[in-house]
Every structure is written in C-alpha cells, then in structure tokens.
Amino acid sequence: MKNDWPVKQRKYAILFAATILATKKLHEIGDKSCPAREFAITDAIEKAERILKKIEERWPSGDQSPVQ
C-alpha cells in the first residue's frame, strides 16, 4: 500500500494557507451564498497552491508526487 501521507500533508497545507488567505474577504462577504464568496474561496485555494509549489521548488520533498 502506497503511503499517501505526503499528499495529505500538502492538502492540509493548502487548506490552511487558503483559509488564511480567504479570511478577510469571507468575513466582509458574510455567510450569504453568492458568486463573490465562491470566487474568494477559489482564489484563495489557487494562491495557496502557487505558494506551495514555490516552496516545493525551493525545498523539494523528494517524494515525487506533484502538487495538484
């Protein structure tokens, strides 16, 4: 069985970073469901993924599983 822990770690790192990146905008929007809220979440995830890729480029983990 393949160890999927590195992939889970990346997903949690992206989730954590995306949460931080989206907090202010989501607070401004509030709890209402709207396109702006969905965009803020998507944008935060994309930013977090880019940050994680930059980190991986600089300090590769060596596990050969790409960030997706």
**Using CA atoms, how far apart are residues 20 and 25, in angstroms rounded to an integer?**
10
Q: What is the pLDDT of residue 4?
A: 74
Express each pLDDT in 2-60 by its tens digit: 677 777 888 888 888 888 888 888 888 888 888 988 898 899 889 888 888 888 888 87
Q: What is the pLDDT of residues 34-49, one digit of tens each?
A: 898 889 889 988 988 8
Phi-psi group of 66: left, alpha or beta (phi > 0 → left; psi -120 to 50 → alpha; rest → beta): beta
d(CA 66, CA 26): 29
pLDDT at 63 over 70: no
